[in-house]
Structure 1
Amino acid sequence: MSDDWWKSAVVYQVYPRSFQDSDGDGVGDLRGILSRLDHLEWLGVDVIWLSPIYASPQADNGYDISDYEAIDPTFGTLDDFDALLTAAHARGIKIVMDLVVNHTSDEHPWFLESRSSKRSPKRDWYWWRPPREGFEPGAPGAEPTNWRAFFSGSTWAYDEESGEYFLHLFHPKQPDLNWENPEVRQAVYAMMNRWLDRGVDGFRMDVINLISKVLPLRDGEPLPGGLGNGFPLYACGPRNHEFLQEMHREVFAGREGRFLTVGETPGATVDDAVLFTDPARAEVDMVFQFEHVDVDHGPLGKFDPQPLDLVRLKAILGRWQAALGERGWNSLYWDNHDQPRVVSRFGDDRDHWAASAKALAAVLHLMRGTPYVYQGEELGMTNAGFTSIDQYRDIESLGAYDELRAMDVPEQRILDGLAAMSRDNARTPVQWDASPHAGFTTGTPWLPVTANHAWLNAEAQRADPDSVAAFYRALIALRHDEPVVAHGTFAMLLAEDPQVFAYRRVLGDAVLTVAANLSGQDATARVDAAHGSLVLHNLGADTTPYPAGAGEVPLGPWEVRVYLARQAAR
């Protein structure tokens, strides 16, 4: 196996809570995942990324960890994990863990010790600061900085016992670790090494570009409502690359070639990503960038979605493809546990559900980079269709609702935004069959199953050679069979076309041309497909060669055509 095996791999994200329940308590678990490995093997994926399964109070569905080396009883035991790891490896599938080390739970022993006294040896393991001078401790405005938290409100929580505040960029139950303290870093590296020794195959590193803060901590640019934008002061901070290089030396040096590392890097620019992923710098293999999934955010942010501007989306993705060509590597994704379902977001889940799900899959998977499939994405699962705030469980969505209502935004506008963009859209249970609760559980699911599971489910699609799942399987096989998909050059075509997403990949004598109509109207892709054979098509069986009128590919609504040509060396 080559050191960069992950360039030809496809990663499948499992959100354990919603994947498969084995014991009828309504929450997915490790034994449930084990029972569905045959589906993932059939699909052809190479890696499973597990969202957090560690011990946690579940304030943020496991992204608040109270013990990095214990499995939360909700999901099972370490024996269950070992059984899953062994069974996955027997099928040639690797397991990547979620690494959440920007913050812990406030119930983690490290934080409990840190909070116990100002003189605690672990006090400096977290960010503690006194109230702002001249303000009553605990009163509005007394927070050490004016930063706004990701989940609304201030990033500072007051601890009455010690009279100081602790920093939490996310929920108050997620205090930030102080990576300036070398003891913190060594404790994290030791934990990572123990997981690798246990047999895991790498890490997805949660918000890893937030671990270095600009010192001294200070106010950010004021925002409407009285808080400030601290993001420039804690994202891609001054020691971020130093910390990741140290992590590589302490954890991965001498283990190269086996593992996959991907850093989640909200707000990172192309230039940042080149530094993070340049192999010569030994930091991470690839990053998750957010620019393309911020493309439809409106004036009020994420929950004010705007119609997709395809030209702008292509410009973003094309820029990332170009920048991470020779140095670095792209990760490719539409969906994950933090994003709504792409077929409802950028596709057409009403009139062209299957065609748009397949077209969006093709344009993503055949770009240069490692594709990520989020559970249910391979089925074309749609948004949840929630209509009332009472149906939501996600703390981000609930916080946004309260915040926008306080701004006098009309309730229906807020509910429309949540219906389109809430993280709960990605967290409804996987739709395995048409039975009650979609075969996910024999009990009551923690989040309701989407109503369309009666016809949109894995069992029906596995039996249908023209299904969305069969198309994903063909896409994955094409990546494995044709080196041009993983290793070819990339050239965006028709950059200004508002309907067509087209590009070309070249490796040696292989030329792969992708032409997709991402609209509900007929279109023409004015591209030269080099007289190739049609190797992938989303509208049923079609062996039509490149059209006789060279230079134009006619496309129906949401149609994608992928041509592969072999050309003589020039």
Structure 2
Amino acid sequence: MVILETECQISAAMMLPAVLVFLLATSALGIPDWWKTSVLYQIYPRSYSDSDGDGNGDIRGIINHLPYIKSLGVGVVWLSPIYSSPWQDMGYDISNFKDVHPKYGTLDDVKELIDKSHQQGMKVFMDFVPNHSSDQHPWFNASRYSVGDAKDYYVWVNPKGYLGGKPIPPNNWLSNFGGSAWEYDEVRKQYYLHEFGPYQPDLNYRNPKLVEQMKDVLRFWFNLGIDGFRCDTVPHLVEDSSFKDEPFLPGCTDPNNRGCLDHIYTENQPETYDVLKQFDEMIQKEYNSTRYLVLEVYASLDKVIKYYQQQSSPFNFFLITDFKRDSTAVELAKVVHDYLQSIPSGMWPNWVVGNHDQSRVGTRMGEDLIDSMNMLILLLPGTAVTFQGEEIGMTDAYIRKDQVLDSVGRDPQRSPVQWDSTKNGGFSTGDKTWLPLNSNYWRVNVKAETAKPKSHLSVYKKTLELRRNLKNPTDFKVNTYGKWVAYFKRDSETESYFYVINLNDREEMIPTSVIGASPTVYIASENAGYSEGNKISEYLVLPPRSSVVLLAPNKMLNKLLRSA
């Protein structure tokens, strides 16, 4: 259970910090310990490393870089889809849930990746795409012709009527990719639902046989050695069976704008939670709670929290959706507070600031906050998630119109990883890469940052090393000093550490009486103007949009906090 206490002391001279106190559950049901202590490192395989020179990243390329991944200190490697696919949605349109796309490699390659990761003490997650398949999946072809069990594996509905001899869609539901969510099939003479592209027909989770088929997909990969899954777009799994029109939001009447509709019939249905509960129970029963699922859920906080179960949890995207480039420290504290306060008793938090669907942190928040955001998620209590390349401060690549591959504009953040300053940034020896690299690869790359004593990579590694030595807190305090400075404390067995961030576009001076008498700089962002070991006496002076981690003996800081 999370208990919130709020204190706000104001004097005539200055505003003293508002203190948000969270009491976190120390025992977390059946959640594996490795999930609670790990950092999840997301790999977009097509953009990670190309081992054969064809311009596409592959599984062998990931295997070749396992020593680098291990050197970061992460505990879980998560692979975006590697399944057999026509690649109309970059692998999220799957034609075989139990095989690998030939450009990525083979099942034997996956098994080798799993085994070698395990040998180095790292777990392996894969993407699970339960909402839909490709229209080239054998199930869909059988369903079109009403053959066998697959007849009802997809959501089929009769036309609402006909106009001029042409069928009318069943209702006003719209696809996430634009246009109607319904596609008429001339073979079956019905519409099928597609919450995304028309080449991605939605699976029918009201059919128990389909549910069992998808459980078998999980079993297949679990039995191969996979430790868990990131589950894609789970709010869309089940739709309301009445197929009513979705109502318009107040003041918005554009029938072609999905954002104008209130998705009360297509998202977060009660039956969706029931399906996930079946997955959860299968993991508990058949795998002795040793596997874990993390769920992609973009929704309001009250709906997100409902997705917590014993063997699964929703991603926490609120540092993306509710924390922006111009947000204040008070707003940052509120995002952290609201999330931690809402987590069900016995559940575990997680923190995400980027992924393959979002602009990179350095582009979205500004390059001056790259270190600060990495430090933030690594030091908050809970599981942290890092998207490949964020550890070196990669930013979105520029994609010309003639180079665009993704219809909804996600190419820039998916550009290949920048390994060094050689041809193609060391990503591929081929003449052309599937997406162009960011033109800054000559200076922003793993090799260059490894050689520098102060770099995004060195800050990331040192912060993650510190994270491994921190105790899980029984209480957690987020403090704000004025409008723009936020800080919090984490303890090891013998020492205490303060993370302090200045979100202002101007320098901020923070009295050490607020943070701790004469602390020492332990880690500093590249733009903080401090070096490791610097002593802070009367004031901590933080440049715009920078951060530090300060070190002080436990007793001194605990005494100061009690007196605040």
Q: TM-score range by the shorter chain?
A: 0.7 to 0.9
Of 519-528 and 472-481, more deviation after overlay is shown by 519-528
User: Of 303, 307, 325, which aligns to 1:276?
Assistant: 307
Which amino acid is 1:7 matched to?
K
**Equivalent residue runs for 1:44-83 within 5 Å:** 44-83=73-112
C-alpha RMSD over aligned residues: 2.5
The reply on whether 1:361 has 2:388 as its aligned counterpart is no
Deviation at 1:109, TM superposition (A): 1.2
The reply on whether 1:245 has 2:277 as its aligned counterpart is yes
Deviation at 1:143, TM superposition (A): 1.1
Q: Distance in 2 between matches of 1:561 and 1:7?
A: 25
Q: What corresponds to 2:385 in structure 1?
A: 372
The reply on whether 1:100 has 2:129 as its aligned counterpart is yes
Q: What corresponds to 2:338 in structure 1?
A: 319
Which amino acid is 1:152 matched to?
G
The reply on whether 1:494 has 2:513 as its aligned counterpart is no
The reply on whether 1:426 has 2:410 as its aligned counterpart is no
**Equivalent residue runs for 1:213-252 within 5 Å:** 213-222=239-248, 224-227=253-256, 229=261, 231-252=263-284
The reply on whether 1:544 has 2:557 as its aligned counterpart is no
User: Of 170, 184, 187, which aligns to 1:144?
Assistant: 170
Residue pair 2:305, 2:314 contacting (<8 A) in 1 also: no
Residue pair 2:135, 2:201 contacting (<8 A) in 1 also: yes
**Equivalent residue runs for 1:169-568 within 5 Å:** 169-222=195-248, 224-227=253-256, 229=261, 231-256=263-288, 258-267=290-299, 269-277=300-308, 281-284=309-312, 286-295=313-322, 308=327, 311-324=330-343, 326-347=345-366, 349=367, 352=368, 356-386=369-399, 388-397=400-409, 423-443=410-430, 444-484=432-472, 487=473, 489-494=475-480, 497=483, 499-505=484-490, 511-525=496-510, 528-531=514-517, 532-539=519-526, 541-545=531-535, 547-549=536-538, 553-564=540-551, 565-567=553-555
Deviation at 1:307, TM superposition (A): 5.1
Q: What corresponds to 2:141 in structure 1?
A: 112
Q: Deviations over 1:27-82 (max 9, x none)?
A: 10000111111110111111100000010011111111110110000101111111
Q: Distance in 2 between matches of 1:534 and 1:254?
A: 48
Which amino acid is 1:276 matched to?
Y
Q: 1:390 to 1:448 in 2, by over 3 A?
A: same
* SS, match of residue 68 in structure 1: strand
* SS, match of residue 194 in structure 1: helix
Q: Distance in 2 between matches of 1:9 and 1:330?
A: 12
* SS, match of residue 74 in structure 1: coil
Q: Deviations over 1:182-205 (max 9, x none)?
A: 001111111211211111111111
Residue pair 1:14, 1:49 contacting (<8 A) in 2 also: yes
Q: Distance in 2 between matches of 1:290 and 1:460?
A: 31
Residue pair 1:314, 1:495 contacting (<8 A) in 2 also: no
Q: 1:120 to 1:258 in 2, by over 3 A?
A: closer
Which amino acid is 2:197 matched to?
H
* SS, match of residue 88 in structure 1: helix
Residue pair 1:3, 1:256 contacting (<8 A) in 2 also: no
Q: What corresponds to 1:402 in structure 2?
A: none
Q: Which has the higher contact order (CA 8 A, sep 6+)?
A: 2
Q: 1:508 to 1:240 in 2, by over 3 A?
A: farther
Superposition TM-score, scaled by structure 1 size: 0.85
Q: What corresponds to 1:128 in structure 2?
A: 156
Which amino acid is 1:341 matched to?
R
Q: Deviations over 1:278-305 (max 9, x none)?
A: xxx5351x211444423479xxxxxxxx
Of 45-54 and 237-246, more deviation after overlay is shown by 237-246
Which amino acid is 2:387 matched to?
Y
Q: Distance in 1 between matches of 2:37 and 2:307?
A: 20
* SS, match of residue 307 in structure 2: helix
The structure carrying a bigger strand percent of its residues is: 2
Q: 1:114 to 1:70 in 2, by over 3 A?
A: same
Residue pair 1:490, 1:504 contacting (<8 A) in 2 also: yes
Deviation at 1:134, TM superposition (A): 4.9
In structure 2, the gaps of 5 or more residues are 1-29
Residue pair 2:508, 2:542 contacting (<8 A) in 1 also: yes
Which amino acid is 2:266 matched to?
Y
Q: Distance in 2 between matches of 1:172 and 1:308?
A: 38
Q: Distance in 2 between matches of 1:270 and 1:490?
A: 20
Q: 1:137 to 1:53 in 2, by over 3 A?
A: farther
Identity of aligned residues (%): 32
Of 160-169 and 220-229, more deviation after overlay is shown by 220-229
Residue pair 2:323, 2:331 contacting (<8 A) in 1 also: no
Deviation at 1:255, TM superposition (A): 2.4
Which amino acid is 2:202 matched to?
D
Q: 1:296 to 1:158 in 2, by over 3 A?
A: farther
Q: What corresponds to 1:403 in structure 2?
A: none
Residue pair 1:85, 1:199 contacting (<8 A) in 2 also: yes
Q: 1:104 to 1:374 in 2, by over 3 A?
A: same
User: Of 164, 168, 180, which aligns to 2:190?
Assistant: 164
In structure 1, the gaps of 5 or more residues are 298-305, 398-422
Q: 1:123 to 1:504 in 2, by over 3 A?
A: same
Q: Distance in 2 between matches of 1:491 and 1:93?
A: 30
**Equivalent residue runs for 1:35-46 within 5 Å:** 35-46=64-75
Deviation at 1:510, TM superposition (A): 5.9
Q: 1:322 to 1:562 in 2, by over 3 A?
A: farther
Q: Distance in 2 between matches of 1:468 and 1:519?
A: 21
Residue pair 1:274, 1:327 contacting (<8 A) in 2 also: no
Q: Distance in 2 between matches of 1:79 and 1:114?
A: 31
